[in-house]
Each structure stands twice: as C-alpha cells, then as structure tokens.
C-alpha cells in the first residue's frame, strides 16, 4: 500500500470517528476533538505532500535542473516529511482515542475501568513500537 493511500485511508477513519462522537463541551471531549482534528489535518497534509512529490518526481523539467540546494531541500522534504506527518497524525489519533475512552466511560463501572486500562495499555505498546521502529530507521539512515 502506498503511503498516500494509507494517509487518505487514515483521514477517512479519523473523519468517521469525528462524525460518530457526540458533541460535548466538557474538558475531556475538547481534548478528543483537538487531537482528532489535528490528526485529520496532518494526515491530509501527508497525502497532499505525497501526491506533490509524485508529480515533481515524474516531471522531466524538475529532474533536468542542476543539483542546487533548493532542489535538494525539496527532494528531502518530499521524501521524508509525509511519513513524519503521518506518524504524528497517528500519535495524535491514539491520544484522542485514549481521551475518548476516558471521556465516554462511566467513572465507577468495572467494565469502564477495564476498557480504559486495555486501551491505554495497547496504545502505550503501539507508541513504544512506533518509537523503536523510528529510532532504528533513523540510526540506519544516519
């Protein structure tokens, strides 16, 4: 699956989550909406950067220009920035998901506590795995 396709798919999932949550103005819900809207914006930006990179790399006029500092910057930007945006978007989505779990569960119910613990634990594992993979990829790059 192409990174742009994944970014568009992730944007669709985020927008569905935004549409399906109830509107509430309490502090927990504000964090949920803030994280999910930021995630949506960053995943759309990632997809747009990916498509822009594809257009620039396929353009013969761009490829024939001399190797300048600006061209190198654009090449590095379009090679790495969409992935970084998508990773930040995923982290914001997971933070919003944890906030959603705490905002929507009943405070005293045993099932609510189990769901909160499970969601937070799995999110922590996913964030740790993302950090380890990113660190290993960065070390192999440098």
Report pLDDT digits (tens) over 99-117: 888 887 665 566 677 888 8
| CB-based contacts of 94, cutoff 8 Å, min separation 6 | 123, 126, 127
- Whole-number Cα distances in Å, 30 to 36, 42, 78, 108: 10, 18, 32, 22
- Whole-number Cα distances in Å, 118 to 26, 28, 35, 101: 23, 18, 20, 10
Identify the pLDDT of residue 92.
92
pLDDT in tens, 83-99: 888 889 989 988 888 88
The rounded distance, in Å, linking the Cα atoms of 139 and 19 is: 39
The rounded distance, in Å, linking the Cα atoms of 31 and 26 is: 9
């Amino acid at each position: 699956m192409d990174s742009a396709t994944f970014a568009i798919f992730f944007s669709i999932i985020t927008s569905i989550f935004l549409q399906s949550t109830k509107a509430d103005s309490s502090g927990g819900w504000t964090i949920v909406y803030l994280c999910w809207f930021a995630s949506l914006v960053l995943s759309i930006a990632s997809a747009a950067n990916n498509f822009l990179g594809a257009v620039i790399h396929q353009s013969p006029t761009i490829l024939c220009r001399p190797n300048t500092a600006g061209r190198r910057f654009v090449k590095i930007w379009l090679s790495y920035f969409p992935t970084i945006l998508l990773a930040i978007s995923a982290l914001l989505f997971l933070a919003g998901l944890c906030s959603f779990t705490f905002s929507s569960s009943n405070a005293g119910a045993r099932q609510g506590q189990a769901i909160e613990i499970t969601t937070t634990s799995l999110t922590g594992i996913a964030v740790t795995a993302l950090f380890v993979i990113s660190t290993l990829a960065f070390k192999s790059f440098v």
